[in-house]
């Protein structure tokens, strides 16, 4: 494939002022970062080497909602201001806003500011907000605002409250994160959120976690005993297929499974850059090139779906 102009929809960036704000608030960050996490020049060098045209930037864990509602507002404002400055200075970066979800009305206000005033193109939400799942009714006001603004929501996993079961063998990132994405997306599908707000645009991390393998089982369970426990009018798969996936998964059979349900129109190239899952961008691109689909479908995944979703 030639002239790819790739868009990476899953890339992480920590503004230095965000890290400073964590220190000021006495919040332990707990990660050791190289300069690719906090500085544009080294990541631009990596992007140039790999033919990556743009990155959609979001912070990674711990996010902004790990402390008090007041601190969440301060952290979100800091992140979003810095991403706005970065994206204004270099159009190869797309900014995804952080929101102070511990106070949903503050989150709505920050969402409007981030999109209307700062020019950010999407939102990042983690799968757990102060111990509450994303389908909790208190958050729906945020989703209504996002739909009105036609702003996509990138859903990223975070450590669950029961994370101790993943402490051995490095299983939090290996299993815990994909399971959290799967759990969150399934709850959203069953909650009726996408019936109430059908235009809401959601993007699931890491190729949807284990959803490509479990969609059929989720529908089977709904038919067996779920109808009496939900208010949705269709099988959950009808709502799951409306969610986009990012492709931060690097195993051909997993991709084949995902394509079989979602199709190439609903999957975006993603790398999880600069975390070292695959070493470099070449592996991310190679798995897409290895798929038994046509070049036009590959271009949808590598660039065109992201262009349409983020609206530029």
User: Long-range contact list for 141-145, CB < 8 A, 24+ apart?
Assistant: 141/104, 141/105, 141/108, 142/99, 142/101, 142/104, 142/107, 142/108, 142/111, 143/193, 143/197, 143/200, 144/197, 145/108, 145/111, 145/112
Q: What is the pLDDT of residue 21?
A: 96
CATH no. of 6-310: 3.20.20.140
Q: The whole model's pTM is what?
A: 0.96
* Residue among 281, 270, 247, 267 at smallest CA distance from 309: 267
DSSP 3-state helix, strand, coil percentages of the chain (rounded to 5)?
55, 15, 35
Supply the mean pLDDT for the chain.
94
pLDDT band at 2 (very low <50, low <70, confident <90, very high): very low
164-183 mean pLDDT: 90
Burial of 202 (0-12, 13-18, 19+ CB in 10 A): buried
pLDDT at 277: 67
| pLDDT level of residue 310 (50, 70, 90 thresholds) | very high
State residue 165's pLDDT score: 86
- Give residue 1's pLDDT: 45
Quick one: pLDDT band at residue 174, thresholds 50, 70, 90? confident
**pLDDT, tens digit, for every residue of 63-102?**
999 999 999 999 999 999 999 999 999 999 999 999 999 9
């Amino acid at each position: 494939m030639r002239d790819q102009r790739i868009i990476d929809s899953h890339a992480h960036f920590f503004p230095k002022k965000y890290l400073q704000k964590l220190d000021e608030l006495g919040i332990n960050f707990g990660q050791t970062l190289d300069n690719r996490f906090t500085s544009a020049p080294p990541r631009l060098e990596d992007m140039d080497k790999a033919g990556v045209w743009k990155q959609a930037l979001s912070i990674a864990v711990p996010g902004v909602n790990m402390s008090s509602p007041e601190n969440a507002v301060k952290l979100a404002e800091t992140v979003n201001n810095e991403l706005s400055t970065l994206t204004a200075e270099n159009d190869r970066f797309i900014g995804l806003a952080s929101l102070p979800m511990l106070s949903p009305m503050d989150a709505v206000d920050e969402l409007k500011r981030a999109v209307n005033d700062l020019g950010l193109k999407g939102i990042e939400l983690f799968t757990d907000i102060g111990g509450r799942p994303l389908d909790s009714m208190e958050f729906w006001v945020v989703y209504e605002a996002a739909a009105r603004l036609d702003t996509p929501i990138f859903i990223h996993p975070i450590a669950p409250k029961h994370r101790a079961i993943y402490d051995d063998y490095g299983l939090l990132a290996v299993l815990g994160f994909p399971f959290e994405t799967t759990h969150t997306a399934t709850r959203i599908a069953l909650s009726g959120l996408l019936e109430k707000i059908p235009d809401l645009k959601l993007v699931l991390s890491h190729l949807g976690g284990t959803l490509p393998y479990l969609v059929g089982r989720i529908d089977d369970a709904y038919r067996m005993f779920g109808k009496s426990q939900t208010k949705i009018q269709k099988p959950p798969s009808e709502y799951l297929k409306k969610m986009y996936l990012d492709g931060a998964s690097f195993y051909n059979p997993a991709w084949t499974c995902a394509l079989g349900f979602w199709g190439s129109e609903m999957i975006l190239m993603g790398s999880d850059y600069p975390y070292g899952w695959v070493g470099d961008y070449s592996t991310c691109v190679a798995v897409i090139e290895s798929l038994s689909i046509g070049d036009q479908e590959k271009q949808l995944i590598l660039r065109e779906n992201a262009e349409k979703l983020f609206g530029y």
